[in-house]
A = this chain, B = another copy of it.
Amino acid sequence: MSLSVKILGCGSALPTTVRNASAQILKHNQKLFLIDCGEYTQVLMRKYGIRFSALKHIFISHLHGDHFYGIFGLLSSLSLMGNTGELHIHCPEKLKYILESENSPLDTTVLGYQLCFDALKPSEVNLAYEDQKIEVYSVPLKHRIQTWGFIFKEKPAELKNIRKECIEKYSLSISEIVRIKEGCDLRLEDGTIIENSELTLEMPPTKSYAYISDTMPSQSVCKAVEGVDVLYHEATYEAALAERASQTFHSTSLQAAEIAKNANVGKLVLGHFSSRYTDTQILENEAKTIFPNTICAYDGLEFEI
């Protein structure tokens, strides 16, 4: 199974010519998930060749403009481009009212597809979405307004892969193969038991990704992202601006790295950089003193998990 992330924008409140407002595409096999939708997201999707018609789920972390002002244009264009079916928006409840009010910037009644709103739950970690292959959890963050992070976790495959050589060795019937794939042991005619683990391949590890922006450092977030393969954590400021970070309910590079270390994640990707940073090397260097496997996001970065 393939799980990858494409950064469309990793800027913060003031988008610039080098860094767009927040937006990411998570691709799981052929399924796309848009995480946040800053201004210009629709054009960035075109730029990076992302199929509009494959987008059926959008996750919005919170209602600061740099995380959702692109949604009006995107929803409008999806309709102009002939999209049909359902489009699910997992978001703060208020976004439904913004989009569906009499004074909405967008007339949602004329869209060619069905908008479905799934309001994020305000307390604790909650399952926000699942399908056969993946679960998405919403995680309350610690910001000036209600904000959520999202954790994407692959589900383990339901059926195991059988070792090809065993089929011949034990002359397995179709029904035996099905049971073995489901996890059963094999009982031979002489009563010998062959354990399932001898008959099947080891399950590939499931992968996980956490998107945590915007937030102050938070112990409950740290607990929620425990052990994820890749953690995207906001690092709006460098360590010297910790007071500014605290006042604005953001994190520094060092604070993001502490979370990554304490949560024992595989890799840390920093993002949501203040517009003061043209070069983000200082943030990466600071974070690496605490958590070496750190990189800085940039617009256009794509990584496999």
> How many angstroms between the C-alpha atoms of A40 and B80 in the bound complex?
19
A20, A39, A77 pick with most chain B CB within 10 angstroms: A39
> How many angstroms between the C-alpha atoms of A21 and B42 in the bound complex?
12
Within 8 Å CB of A102, what residues of B? 101
Among the listed stretches A24-32, A65-73, A146-154, A179-187, which one makes contact with chain B, having 4 or more residues with CB under 8 Å of it?
A: A65-73
Among the listed stretches A103-111, A121-129, A168-176, A262-270, which one makes contact with chain B, having 4 or more residues with CB under 8 Å of it?
A: A103-111
Asked if A14 meets B98 with Cβ closer than 8 Å, knowing A65-B106, A105-B105, the reply is: no
Within 8 Å CB of A66, what residues of B? 73
Within 8 Å CB of A21, what residues of B? 73
Which single member of B16, B65, B77 contacts A43 (CB below 8 Å)?
A: B16
Asked whether any CB of chain B lies closer than 8 Å to the CB of A164, the reply is no
Asked whether any CB of chain B lies closer than 8 Å to the CB of A163, the reply is no
Within 8 Å CB of A293, what residues of B? none
Within 8 Å CB of A16, what residues of B? 43, 46
Q: Are B106 and A70 in contact (CB under 8 A)?
A: no
Oligomer: number of copies: 2
Which single member of B20, B81, B98, B105 contacts A65 (CB below 8 Å)?
A: B105
Within 8 Å CB of A13, what residues of B? 76-77, 80
> How many angstroms between the C-alpha atoms of A81 and B47 in the bound complex?
29
Within 8 Å CB of A77, what residues of B? 13-15
Asked whether any CB of chain B lies closer than 8 Å to the CB of A97, the reply is yes
Asked whether any CB of chain B lies closer than 8 Å to the CB of A192, the reply is no
Q: Of residues 109 to 158 in A, which have CB atoms within 8 Å of B's CB atoms?
A: none
Q: Are B15 and A42 in contact (CB under 8 A)?
A: yes
> How many angstroms between the C-alpha atoms of A73 and B275 in the bound complex?
15
Asked whether any CB of chain B lies closer than 8 Å to the CB of A247, the reply is no
Asked whether any CB of chain B lies closer than 8 Å to the CB of A94, the reply is yes
Q: Are A97 and B103 in contact (CB under 8 A)?
A: yes
Q: Are A76 and B65 in contact (CB under 8 A)?
A: yes
Asked whether any CB of chain B lies closer than 8 Å to the CB of A17, the reply is yes
Nearest chain B CB to A183's CB is how many angstroms away? 49
Within 8 Å CB of A63, what residues of B? 105
Which single member of B15, B69, B80 contacts A72 (CB below 8 Å)?
A: B69
> How many angstroms between the C-alpha atoms of A73 and B20 in the bound complex?
12
Q: Of residues 37 to 69 in A, which have CB atoms within 8 Å of B's CB atoms?
A: 39-40, 42-43, 46-47, 63, 65-66, 68-69
Q: Are B69 and A43 in contact (CB under 8 A)?
A: no
Which single member of B15, B17, B69 contacts A105 (CB below 8 Å)?
A: B69
Q: Which residue of B lies closest to A19 (CB)?
A: B43
Q: Are A65 and B69 in contact (CB under 8 A)?
A: no
Besides A14-B77, A39-B42, A65-B105, 5 more A-B contacts (Cβ < 8 Å) are A39-B73, A63-B105, A69-B72, A94-B103, A101-B101
7 A–B contacts from the bound complex (CB under 8 Å): A20-B43, A21-B73, A65-B105, A65-B106, A68-B105, A69-B69, A103-B103
